[in-house]
Amino acid sequence: MSDYAYGLCFVDDVEVEATSAGSVRVRIRGAWPTPAWRLDHEELELSGGKLKIKLVGKVKKGIVAPSVITPFEHVLEINLEAKNIMLEVLGRGGRVIRASVKT
């Protein structure tokens, strides 16, 4: 059994910029529920012209931390073969931010 609890971040804003042919930079601004949360990994799922991104955080079980929303910014560089992709960034509470990507 893991010593950590895992969950999604709050997502506030997403910026997408084509950096070169087939490559995009995705800047995600959001927050963790407390200062004890840290980014653990990214989950990317490409299916049917749609790229879903989840930022998964972790916090040590049993840790006591103030309930203070902790902002962050995370940047991903993604190589895409398709010319048109719908990007979805999924966050805590079922929030989804969508952006159209043309490379």
How far from chain centre, in Å, is Cα 34? Answer: 17
Asked if residue 91 has pLDDT above 80, the reply is yes
pLDDT at 82 > cutoff 80 = no
Q: What are phi and psi of 38, to 5 degrees?
A: -135, 155
Between CA 41 and CA 49, with CA 44 as vertex, the angle to 5 degrees is: 170
State the residue for tokens 């805590």. 92
- pLDDT surpassing 70 at residue 103: no
pLDDT of residue 83: 74
Is residue 3 pLDDT above 90, yes or no? yes
pLDDT digits (tens, 9 = 90+) for 20-79: 777 889 999 999 999 999 999 999 999 988 999 999 999 999 999 999 999 999 999 998
Looking at the whole model, is its pTM more than 0.85? yes
Question: Which residues neighbour 1 within 8 Å (Cβ) at sequence distance 6 or greater?
Answer: none
Would you state the pLDDT for residue 48? 87
